[in-house]
Chain A
């Protein structure tokens, strides 16, 4: 069973900072990696799919990269609306999520 591990669990940032979140898979998952943003009481929002493809309507300050077992989500300049929890997910056959990274002020 493939495990997904995110780091860090919590990240403190200021508006304008560059933020990077890492997701590691216990085995290669090719490019089937997605990133989500979730705010309290809301459903997740898809940001990035297939490792690096930006979902429609998502600001270009979000980007994804990686391959195989190591992946990153980068926010180039954090904005006030970006303070939220972020999850990675493998989505080949199974859909395992990472444990989440809370981005806070």
Chain B
């Protein structure tokens, strides 16, 4: 069974850091790209970052310089290191493989 399971969300103070992970299982073959997408409470989808199989990475302007996407092929995980967090980063964070397969999301709340 194809599964993506996010973890690492929680409550963090403004200026703090958090590392999200996405455990991927049930796939044969490697991915072309994997992404993080977030959704603030009651708002629309916001693309955050993408990691291509060749190693290229891209970020939304809103997170550039603060977030870092990475993959661990040995552990079949996708990670998102989030630094200098702001209240506006509060959202459910989804990982996705080629935008076809999605996890259930993990909630990040940035608040004092």
A75 at the interface (CB under 8 A from B): no
Chain A residue nearest to B56 (CB atoms) is A93
Cα-based distance from A87 to B46 in the complex (angstroms): 10
CB distance from B99 to the nearest CB of A (A): 6
Cα-based distance from A1 to B58 in the complex (angstroms): 13
Chain A residues near B94 (CB-CB < 8 A):
43-44
**Cross-chain contact of A44 among B45, B50, B58, B60 (Cβ < 8 A):** B45
Q: Report B11-28 CB contacts with A as 1/0, cut-off 8 Å.
A: 000000000000000000
Chain A residues near B44 (CB-CB < 8 A):
85, 87, 97-100
Chain B residues near A94 (CB-CB < 8 A):
47, 50, 58, 60
Chain A residues near B58 (CB-CB < 8 A):
93-95
Q: Report A86-105 CB contacts with B as 1/0, cut-off 8 Å.
A: 01010101111111100000
10 new A-B pairs (CB below 8 Å) besides A94-B60, A96-B60, A100-B45?
Answer: A38-B45, A43-B103, A43-B104, A44-B37, A44-B45, A85-B44, A94-B58, A95-B99, A97-B44, A97-B47
Can you list 18 A-B contacts (CB < 8 A)?
Answer: A1-B61, A43-B102, A43-B103, A43-B104, A44-B45, A49-B99, A87-B44, A89-B45, A91-B99, A94-B47, A95-B35, A95-B50, A96-B47, A97-B44, A97-B45, A98-B44, A100-B44, A100-B45
Binding site for B on A (CB under 8 A): 1, 34, 36, 38, 43-46, 49, 55, 85, 87, 89, 91, 93-100
